[in-house]
Structure 1
Amino acid sequence: MAKNTRGGALIHQSGFDFLNALKKHNNREWFNANKDTYLHELKQVEAFADALLADLSSHDVIETPSGKNSLFRIYRDTRFSSDKTPYKTHWSGGFKRATQYRRGGYYFQIEPGNTFIGGGFWGPVADDLKKIREDIAFDPAPLRKIINSKSFVNIFGSLQGEQLKKVPRGYDAQHEGADLLRYKQFLLIRRFSDEEVLSEQFRKEAGKTFAAMRPFFDYMSEVLSTDSNGL
């Protein structure tokens, strides 16, 4: 098995092989028959998540205590879904930023053909969303400067997330930040090819991607921890 000369964990081809096989045989009988393989590959992903956490902790305060605790269960909740397959066909995990002033989080998903590193605000509560929109309405320049920066565009392309079709009620449809006011989610996503994921550089690139989110998170932390008087 390959070793990472940089001292961090790797994503292995065997993990992709397991996920591809699971996608073809997504049933409890097959999964139970291959449980030992699943547990082995899960340990590999836990080691990768531990390495990511160590990288994150060098530049942010993370509440998630370990790589193992960051991982989401592979078992799907099918109660309210038309898709009754019992298992996810990817590895994924998230890291929560600590304290109320560091809202938002980091996310990773590892899946053949669909791996990405992400972060931001998937479902901001109504009060947070209102604060963000009020700050954009007051002056969209700070956020626009971040998402239009060369480094942001090179890594993330553009700000992503679900948007309203129109500017929300109470805001000027002709506002210079109208495009930003329509966002309901604020997501930063960088996608990786399978070749990139299986390379020794992936952990390093994943860490760099998380670090590149800090200007965005710093902006959001200030917006969400400051009242209408700027205090």
Structure 2
Amino acid sequence: MKAKPAPKAGFTPATLTFLRDLVLNNNREWFHANRPRYDAAKTELCNVVEQVLTGLGPYEPLANTSVKDCVFRINRDIRFSKDKKPYKSNLAFAIGPGGRHSGRIDYYVHIQPDNQSFIGAGMWQPTPANLAKFRQEVDYNVDELKAIIEDDTFRNYFPEAHGEQLKSMPKGYPVDHPEIELLRRKELFFMHRFTDKEVLGANFADEIIRGCRIIKPYCDWLNYLFFEEKEEPVTLV
């Protein structure tokens, strides 16, 4: 007799309720009194991360990446912040080789109630050197990037680009450059938002995997551009 597949684990309403309550009671005394609720929420998060790692395994080099490598701590770093609230109001994880500290462009998943959850990826707070590489590639060979981010499937799932941009053109580029909008970008990050209903759905991990696969070509393009040495820039013939 063929064994039934294990049921898919996901988030329950209790996790979103805990996060809402945490916003109203963001102090150590309340958190420690409600530690079992946080532990239950973190267990659900880890179960979802495990499913995502398994689902992305055939497409990403994640063999040595564990769940704990991917999950962000809920504690905030308040050393240099005026906001002294000790805890984040969300749960989050990042999927990349080795987890959240891969150092490469990875997939970020943010869980926050009231329809504020999302999956995102892309160029965010790049180093000056990487930003210069991005602009040079846009100037020399923009077709590959535009084929990715203007694809219908991509645009339907990630309809809007986020991030900081210059008000004028960066130095060294003419103001009438045909790719002025991309060249002005200091960040080019795409997000897909999830409703609370979607987060609580039985197939939420599958939806995260779907989102990762849709934005993967853009992440691969950035990772190659930023971290793989090229002998010379690619130019159009």
Q: TM-score, normalized by length of structure 1?
A: 0.89
Name the CA distance, whole Å, in 1 between partners of 2:6 and 2:171: 51
Alignment of 1:82-231 (within 5 A): 82-97=82-97, 103-113=104-114, 114-224=116-226, 225-227=228-230, 229-230=232-233
2:76 is matched with 76
Change (3 A) 1:11 1:64: farther
Change (3 A) 1:135 1:74: same
2:31 match: secondary structure: helix
Name the CA distance, whole Å, in 2 between partners of 1:158 and 1:226: 30
Change (3 A) 1:59 1:159: same
Structure 1 residue 178: Cα displacement: 1.0
1:137 match: secondary structure: helix
The Cα RMSD (Å) is 2.1
Structure 1 residue 108: Cα displacement: 0.4
Matched to 2:108, the amino acid is: Y
Change (3 A) 1:42 1:51: same
1:33 is matched with 33
Deviations 1:120-140 (A, max 9, x none): 222222222211110101132
Structure 1 residue 84: Cα displacement: 1.6
Name the CA distance, whole Å, in 1 between partners of 2:214 and 2:6: 20
Deviations 1:54-106 (A, max 9, x none): 222221123872122211111111222222211111101112247xxx93111
Structure 1 residue 230: Cα displacement: 4.4
Matched to 1:13, the amino acid is: P
Instruction: Give yes or no for contact 1:162–1:183 (8 Å, CA) kept in 2.
Output: yes
1:212 match: secondary structure: helix
Structure 1 residue 41: Cα displacement: 1.6
Matched to 2:174, the amino acid is: D
Change (3 A) 1:78 1:223: closer
Instruction: Give yes or no for contact 1:147–1:159 (8 Å, CA) kept in 2.
Output: no
Name the CA distance, whole Å, in 2 between partners of 1:96 and 1:204: 17
Instruction: Give yes or no for contact 1:119–1:188 (8 Å, CA) kept in 2.
Output: yes
